[in-house]
Structure 1
């Protein structure tokens, strides 16, 4: 084998290992964190917030991605067990689910950014659009629209990859940045207004600030993890007509798989971002863990008391039996 063949073999081996490691890490951290997301966002203090509803809905789609899509990708990429080997229809459904579920998750976060902008507006009429009813309608609309837009993947053999990744990463990221700037501008203007707030308003404002901080952390991770793959797809489309040698193809495949693997962390790390950036999220998580520990302690104490009662009854029966024996003997 020539040195170039050896180098190509090494690059291909490294690509396979990198993909497997990334997928396994994303599955491990996502399967734990996303379940905690559902628990925290369904607690009373957070489920009344429209922003929390967007986070919760995005979490459900991320759960599907982590527990269904990632295992399928591990089998196909690392063990050559692909659905296309058994049924072409299942393969198209998997591709449709892979792209649509990821897009829905990112677009729901983008809608959360718009909700924070509406909620932070000084105009009361605009603020009224930030409500649970509006959030439910928006979530249902996003799901339906994206599923319709991606339906062609189940019927056409050719996929417009640039459009798919632009709709998955580029467009939502632009919306997140745009409405994030608008929200910061609204907050800056509101801080200039000197007003006396009662304790209830302070608690609401503190919750809003924490949700905004959590949203900013999520947006930054989405942009950082999804844009490299979009950039690569644009590059691949621009150079698709160029003649490339096997070494360059292997290098580009490594870049493609690595940048594509980064997108998996966009859908599996939200719990850890929320825990680090939002004190209200940490507080609700701590309350849940404390309640679980309290229930377990209560069950243990009840079990111990029942065991003590049983042991006491057993001792009393033994003593009664001994006394009856002594009485008979006497």
Structure 2
């Protein structure tokens, strides 16, 4: 076994396992803390996103740790697992990323001065949007279930899980699905809505309102944006580079370096789905207090006002008179 292979295995195990363990526990804690405020549209989106993050970390990262780090690849021996792993991983990626974009849009709407925009932030509308998004991305992943097959190679004597698709669909995945759905769209939406939300909150006249909205609606989202860009863009860029240069003749050392970089950017990619709990903990005082009380096994007062609540109807009622007074 070459030194490069050993290095790749070590990076996968010693970097991937902490991300998987911390990310899974963090997302489960998110579900625990956000459950009481699930009637809030923004909290409900975070709740759904945390659930799909757990699926991403299991189907994507954990199985990669087993296959690369411990040479235990179930997808090469089980046909059902071969098909479902690719499909569920892809769908969970896209659903989770889309939920983050929805949360950012929701915060932008509720921070607007116009009441007609704030009224668009409603739980029934949010639930319908998430259902439609889930159906769409699950349908988008159906071809993976259809075309993924176990293929035996006579040259290597090994069986591998491969996606048997035509050139047109392969080009669609390479040049549209990956760079646009995981790169361009989320980055653009998060950046635009984040800037608009920050500007909207700065226009509020009452300091208390500004603090509540800016801390509860903006801080967690704005903190996630650079992390998402940092973890997803290198993966997308390098994956595109690998696909474009796949037909080029490369030296052995170049292939080894690219294989090592592929492993590194892939591990970094999963930080997006593992970081929400730590982002919320660092950027939200109320979330941090809730987490500390849970970890210390202290009882919480269900009626205390400092609950984890990205947005509330009380704030909506107080904003309107303030805006009218300011105008």
Query: Which of 64-73 and 47-56 deviates more?
Result: 64-73
Following TM superposition, by how much is the alpha carbon of 1:208 offset from its aligned partner in structure 2, in angstroms?
A: 5.3
CA contact (8 A) 2:201 2:213 kept: no
2:233 pairs, out of 209, 217, 227, with 227
Say if 1:132 and 1:294 are closer, same or farther in 2 by CA, change over 3 A.
closer
User: In the alignment, is the contact (CA less than 8 A) between 2:194 and 2:218 conserved in 1?
Assistant: no
2:275 is the alignment partner of 1:284: no
Q: Which residue of 1 aligns with 2:82?
A: 91
Could you tell me which residue of structure 1 aligns to residue 182 of structure 2?
168
Q: Would the aligned equivalents of 2:40 and 2:123 in 1 still touch at CA under 8 Å? A: yes
Paired with 1:131 and 1:74, the residues of 2 have a C-alpha distance of 40
Equivalent residue, structure 2, for 1:140: 131
Give 1:1-330 correspondences, 5 Å limit.
Answer: 9-43=2-36, 46-156=37-147, 157-158=164-165, 159=170, 160-166=173-179, 167-188=181-202, 190-191=203-204, 194=205, 202=208, 206-207=212-213, 209-289=215-295, 292-294=297-299
- Describe the SS at the equivalent of 1:121: coil
How many Å apart are 1:72 and its aligned residue? 2.0
- Deviation of residue 11 (structure 1)? 2.4
CA distance in 2, matches of 1:238, 1:282: 45
Per-residue deviation, 1:225: 0.6
Within 2, Cα distance between the matches of 1:124 and 1:16?
Answer: 54
**Contact 2:95–2:134 (CA<8 Å) still a contact in 1?**
yes
- 1:289-326 Cα distance to aligned partner (Å, 9 max, x none): 56x3359xxxxxxxxxxxxxxxxxxxxxxxxxxxxxxx
The structure where helix makes up a greater share of residues is 1
Q: Is the 8 A contact 1:118 1:126 kept in 2?
A: yes
RMSD across aligned C-alpha pairs, in angstroms? 2.3
Whole-angstrom distance in 1 between the partners of 2:246 and 2:62: 30
Q: Is the 8 A contact 2:110 2:118 kept in 1?
A: yes
- CA distance in 2 between counterparts of 1:178 and 1:141 reads 23
The Cα offsets for residues 174-216 of structure 1, whole Å up to 9 and x where unpaired, read as: 211121122223223x23xx46x8xxxx479615532310111
Q: CA deviation at 1:94?
A: 0.4
Which is higher, the Rg of structure 1 or of structure 2? 1
Maintained 8 Å contact 1:106/1:169:
no
Give the alignment's TM-score, normalised by structure 1. 0.77
Tell whether the 8 Å contact from 1:162 to 1:233 is kept in structure 2 after alignment: no
Q: CA deviation at 1:143?
A: 0.8
Show structure 2 runs of 5+ residues with no match. 148-163, 301-327
| Residue of structure 2 equivalent to 1:326 | none
Question: In the alignment, is the contact (CA less than 8 A) between 1:113 and 1:180 conserved in 2?
Answer: yes
Corresponding residue pairs, total? 277
Q: CA separation of 1:109/1:83 partners in 2, compared to 1, >3 Å: closer, same or farther? A: same
Provide the C-alpha distance between the structure 1 equivalents of 2:23 and 2:63, rounded to a whole number of angstroms. Answer: 15
CA gap of 1:220–1:12, structure 2 versus 1, over 3 A, is same
Distance 1:277 1:132 in 2: 24
- Structure 1 unaligned regions, length at least 5: 1-7, 296-330
